Structure 1
Amino acid sequence: MELILWRHAEAEDGYPDDERALTSTGLEQAKKMAAWLKARMPKETRILVSPAKRAQQTASALDLPFTTLHELAPSASPHDLLKVANWDTSKGAVLIVGHQPTLGMAAAIAMTHKTHYWCVKKGAVWWIASRIRAEEEQAIIRAVISPDML
């Protein structure tokens, strides 16, 4: 399985939290990362997105259909995220556009089977794959890239 975690790009401060929009910098970050992803993502990638406005705007930069899931809202747990992704139980690829600290914690669980508070920078992508080798489950880091590297 390919698990692609994309943190929403830079957003405005404000309240209510779910209505915070991307800044002009955030819109540019999303555009750059979307171009990078579209050139590399498998064609059948499922795209799952938080209902928060900033995540919706980030995902919209891909100009591809996506599914909005309440289970990916800012209050989501890393276990909820991995469950909706079907991590380790399915084939194919899934891209999740969401929030910290959930994304970093989900990456840690996927890689180490332990909860750690890893930080995913705003607008960044962490791409993790799973495979079985010699009857052993392995997690592979395929890419970690932030928008300032593009």
Structure 2
Amino acid sequence: MDLLLWRHAEAVDGTPDHARELTPRGIKQAQRIADWLKRNRPQRLKVMVSPTVRTRQTAEAFTDDFEIVSALGPERTVADILAATGWPDASGACLIVGHQPTLGRIAALLLSGTEADWTVKKGGLWWFTNRVRNGETQTVLRTVIANDLLDK
């Protein structure tokens, strides 16, 4: 299984939290990652997004074919999100558009075996693969993309 974690792009400050929209900068951030994904996406990619406006707007830069999943909301846990994706046993690939600090905690868990407060930058993408080698399950980090390093 492939698991892609995409943190929503920059959003305006304010309340209610779930209604915050992307800033003009955030729209550009989302489009840069979306352009990269269009060229490099894994096959059989399922896209799941948090129910917030900013995550839906981020995903819309890439596709209109996504599922809004309440288990991906900003108040949800690592266990909630991993269960919603089927990691590590599901087939195919799943792109999650979600929030900090949970995405950073998932990245830490997958790479170190322990949840920790790692940071996924706004608009950033982390791509993991799960495989079995010699009877041992392995998590492989395929790429990390910081939005500000892509062509503008």
Decide: shared fold, TM above 0.5: yes
The residue matched to 2:40 in structure 1 has which SS?
A: coil
CA distance in 2, matches of 1:84, 1:69: 8
RMSD: 0.9
CA distance in 2, matches of 1:64, 1:83: 23
CA distance in 2, matches of 1:26, 1:60: 12
Q: Deviations over 1:67-95 (max 9, x none)?
A: 00011011010111111111111221000
The residue matched to 1:46 in structure 2 has which SS?
A: strand
* Counterpart position of 1:131: 131
The residue matched to 1:97 in structure 2 has which SS?
A: strand
Q: Which amino acid is 2:124 matched to? A: A
Preserved CA contact (<8 Å) 2:43 2:92: no
The CA deviation at 1:112 is 2.3
CA distance in 2, matches of 1:46, 1:81: 14
Q: Establish whether residue 90 from structure 1 lines up as the match of residue 107 from structure 2.
A: no
The CA deviation at 1:110 is 1.8
CA distance in 2, matches of 1:98, 1:44: 20
* Counterpart position of 1:26: 26
Unpaired runs of at least 5, structure 2: none
CA distance in 1, matches of 2:38, 2:95: 11
CA distance in 2, matches of 1:73, 1:37: 22
The residue matched to 1:107 in structure 2 has which SS?
A: helix
CA distance in 2, matches of 1:86, 1:111: 17
Give 4+ residue runs of structure 1 displaced > 4 Å after superposition. none
Larger mean Cα displacement after TM superposition, 101-110 or 1-10: 101-110
Give the alignment's TM-score, normalised by structure 1: 0.97
1:115-130 paired onto structure 2 within 5 Å: 115-130=115-130
Larger mean Cα displacement after TM superposition, 9-18 or 76-85: 76-85
Q: Tell me how many residue pairs correspond in the alignment.
A: 150
